[in-house]
Amino acid sequence: MRILFMGDVVGRTGRDTLGLRLPGLRKALGIDLAIVNAENASHGFGLGPDMAHALFAAGADVITLGNHAWDRKEIIPYIAQNPRLIRALNYPPETPGGGFVVVEVRGGRRALVLQAMGRLYMDPLDCPFRTTADLLARYRLGATVQAIVADIHAEATSEKMAYAHVFDGQMSFVVGTHTHCPSADAQIFPGGTAFQSDAGMCGDYDSVIGMTKDNAALRFWRKMPGERLGPAEGEATLCGVFVETDDTTGLALRIEPVRVGGRLKQTMPEVV
């Protein structure tokens, strides 16, 4: 199975550019499963239902959220009706929406996609390790599903790495989101799980993690809140990760970064 995960979509420039390019990326890479983190798509804070609809129409099979999941209140009824839009698994049980979804891809294959949220320097949610382990007890890689992908939305790289190592061999791919900077540690762990600490963002990198430079810098320089942060609106770089898995075992065969457009060095996997 060929899987494409696109990092946090930030603002209009991120969502418009991804909407235009995602169909071509799916075709060029022969993608079976496309996952997009879109928790910053609405002016950098949250996701609107119309934006989710547009990303699905562009080719996203699953959309994940994060700590800004509820910034747009309109998303609450939408997420309750759309199982392919998921929030973190380790929110309390009565939270709207779901933390995972099983989708069918070409050839009748099935993929489990989940999101967990870290707790270090973030909200003290339920344990992401324990809630993930409980879910994986219900789905077996290479048997009940042909692929398992986890978006670990966390501040600390150490927590993301620890999470991936704990579930090495039980998932196809673990990818970090939230910090908006693509990491250079794409690898396949000894047990066969692909991992990258952070997928990066789909947004303007002439910015401070996607937000306009001046207002963001003033918060550090003067230690005053200043004006509300807003997303930078220059040309976006689309950052993501490509993973190919073995359909028999569900384990990863290769992992490569994807960077298209904008300021960062470009890279695209070669496929045949």
* DSSP assignment string, 33-88: EEEEE-TBTTTTS---HHHHHHHHHHT-SEEE--TTTTSSTTHHHHHHH-TTEE--
In 3D space, the residue among 31, 41, 97 whose CA is nearest the CA of residue 68 turns out to be: 41
Asked whether 236 and 259 are in contact (CB, 8 A), the reply is: no
| Helix H or strand E segment including 238 | strand 237-245
- 118 three-state secondary structure: coil
Beta bridge partners of 63: 36, 85
Asked whether 231 and 204 are in contact (CB, 8 A), the reply is: yes
Active site residue 180: no
Q: Is 176 exposed, middle or buried (0-12, 13-18, 19+ CB in 10 A)?
A: buried
Q: Which of 68, 153, 178, 180 is catalytic?
A: 68
Beta bridge partners of 116: 152
Where in the sequence numbering do the catalytic residues fall? 68
